[in-house]
Structure 1
Amino acid sequence: MRTIPWLVGCITSLFSTVNANVEKVVFLAPSPVIIPNAPSSLEDLRLDILSPTQKPILSTELSVEFPTAPTPHGVESWYLLQSLKEGRRYEVRICWPATQPTDFWLDTYTISQVFDTPHLLSSLASYSEIREELGLESTGYIRGPSPSTPNSLLFLRIQAAASFYTTNQTLMDDPPPVDVDIILDPFLLNIIPRSLAPTALYIAVVAVGAWFLSGAIYRWLLLISRESHKPHTD
């Protein structure tokens, strides 16, 4: 009967290990909006784009810097989440190697929130200008069936701050970019992330199987114990 606690302990330890280099934000998709000339205006921002059906994973490098008074959360990067379904729960996860210690903060904003908030708009504009100076283009606005079709969109802001210390002064002055995977994951029935559903099903099957197996083994051992204690007749 010790199988279940042992299994739960193993699962918990695995989750603790994963959380060491994963950060995420969970949100509900907003109402669809129609943006005049959306393809051209959004592409002008030169943002990388994630879509739950067409491009749910983005592998890239993020610039980082050590926290300072003006930038306590390091470097800000911006992305566009599109083709969402209104009212559906999603999560964005960012995964990075444990060999590159970094602190991340993830936030999502509607288009109106960004354009109505001066410091968010300034940050987005600055990031767009940096990408333009570097010659980086948008990964491509994913067009719907019609330019006038409402689209549920969100901006994603990622803040990245280096969180290591070394005697190498070069690394302290200019920490290297961090390799990351940014994953946009929809929830099934607004309960569990779609990518985790197979794992959850596997764990459930193993847990149920272990429960019945441990019960059968317990009854078998109990039967053996009773047989061994029966009085012998000469």
Structure 2
Amino acid sequence: MRVTLWLPCIVTHVWTVNANVEKTIFLAPGPAALPNVPPALDDLRLDTLEPAYSPVLETKLAVQFPAAAPPRGLESWYLLRGLDEGRRYEVRICWPATQPTDFWLDTYPITHVFNTPELLSSLATYTQQRQELGLETTGVLKEHLPSQSQSALFLRIQAAASFYSSNRTLMEHPPAVDADIILDPYILNIFPRSLGPVAIYIGVVAVAAWFLSGYIYRCLLSIAAEPSPRPHTD
């Protein structure tokens, strides 16, 4: 009996340690008109997330232990495109709990990055590393991208390993972390679209429970209203 009672708790705890989540929430800015000079956004060869066509990116993120430079590990850059101006979004990164890592997520307007030397230098270093490794851009296809100005943001992810091992090689070269990066728009700027099915399920359960409770209540009233049987006399 005790095993049966503890089983749901065990399953719940196993599920909660299956993965970690970090996120940032933002409002999509207005369309940014960029100068028609290099480098163009497509020339940066960044992985792209777009709500309609590629909201999820499965990737491996290189990590590094915190140091004086950089204090938050390694930085990687991504492009968020096809956003609706004024709409609330959130970007989540999910990774296995078996790979202890600290993540920091920040979004920046396109023009802000180009006008900030520190951010621009970090972006240039990352894109150069990708080109040297011959990495191809993944995400939304070019034929899905409008040619005119659109609402877009840069996403910077900082990843720092947060474990300790007696293995010196592992401490000097921490393995890349398997991660899913998810771009999730909000419905009516209230809750994420991915929670829509959950909200519908809760609504259906609540309505069904309301009708069921009313039926049970009426049954109890009818039982209570029945006259008690007369005592049997010999």
TM-score, structure 2 as length reference: 0.81
Q: Which residue in the other structure is 1:43 paired with?
A: 42
User: In 1, distance between residues paired with 2:77 and 2:86?
Assistant: 23
1:233 maps onto 2:231 in alignment:
yes
Contact 1:75 1:159 in 2 (8 A): yes
The one-letter amino acid of 1:124's match is L
Q: Secondary structure at the match of 1:96?
A: strand
The superposition leaves residues 201-234 of structure 1 with CA deviations (integer Å, 9 ceiling, x where unpaired) of 112322343355456556656876x589957523
The one-letter amino acid of 1:159's match is Q
Q: 1:104 to 1:111 in 2, by over 3 A?
A: same
Contact 2:59 2:180 in 1 (8 A): yes
User: In 1, distance between residues paired with 2:17 and 2:97?
Assistant: 10
Any runs of at least 4 consecutive aligned residues in structure 1 with deviations exceeding 6 A, and if so which?
Answer: 221-224
Deviation at 1:153, TM superposition (A): 0.8
Q: Which residue in the other structure is 2:81 paired with?
A: 82
The superposition leaves residues 71-127 of structure 1 with CA deviations (integer Å, 9 ceiling, x where unpaired) of 221111000001111111111111111211111111100012111222111111111
Contact 1:43 1:138 in 2 (8 A): no
Contact 2:18 2:96 in 1 (8 A): no
Deviates more, 1:169-178 or 1:19-28: 19-28
Q: Which residue in the other structure is 1:124 paired with?
A: 123
For the aligned residues, what is the CA RMSD?
A: 3.0
Q: Secondary structure at the match of 2:99?
A: coil
Q: Which residue in the other structure is 2:31 paired with?
A: 32
Q: Secondary structure at the match of 1:90?
A: strand
Contact 2:100 2:163 in 1 (8 A): yes
Q: Which residue in the other structure is 1:98 paired with?
A: 97
User: In 2, distance between residues paired with 1:83 and 1:60?
Assistant: 21
User: In 1, distance between residues paired with 2:214 and 2:221?
Assistant: 10
User: In 1, distance between residues paired with 2:215 and 2:51?
Assistant: 44
Deviation at 1:193, TM superposition (A): 1.1
Q: Secondary structure at the match of 2:57?
A: strand
User: In 2, distance between residues paired with 1:19 and 1:203?
Assistant: 24
Aligned residue pairs total: 220
Deviation at 1:170, TM superposition (A): 1.7
The sequence identity of aligned pairs, in percent, is: 64
User: Which protein shows a greater Rg?
Assistant: 2
User: In 1, distance between residues paired with 2:60 and 2:219?
Assistant: 57
User: In 2, distance between residues paired with 1:18 and 1:34?
Assistant: 44
Q: Which residue in the other structure is 1:23 paired with?
A: 22
The one-letter amino acid of 2:60's match is E
User: In 2, distance between residues paired with 1:142 and 1:74?
Assistant: 31
Contact 1:75 1:161 in 2 (8 A): yes
Aligned positions of 1:154-193 closer than 5 A = 154-193=153-192
User: In 2, distance between residues paired with 1:162 and 1:125?
Assistant: 23
Where structure 1 has 5 or more consecutive residues not aligned to the other structure, the ranges are: 1-9
User: In 2, distance between residues paired with 1:39 and 1:85?
Assistant: 26
Q: 1:27 to 1:146 in 2, by over 3 A?
A: closer
Deviation at 1:32, TM superposition (A): 0.6
TM-score, structure 1 as length reference: 0.81
Q: Which residue in the other structure is 1:142 paired with?
A: 142
Where structure 2 has 5 or more consecutive residues not aligned to the other structure, the ranges are: 1-8
Q: Which residue in the other structure is 2:67 paired with?
A: 68
User: In 2, distance between residues paired with 1:46 and 1:205?
Assistant: 45
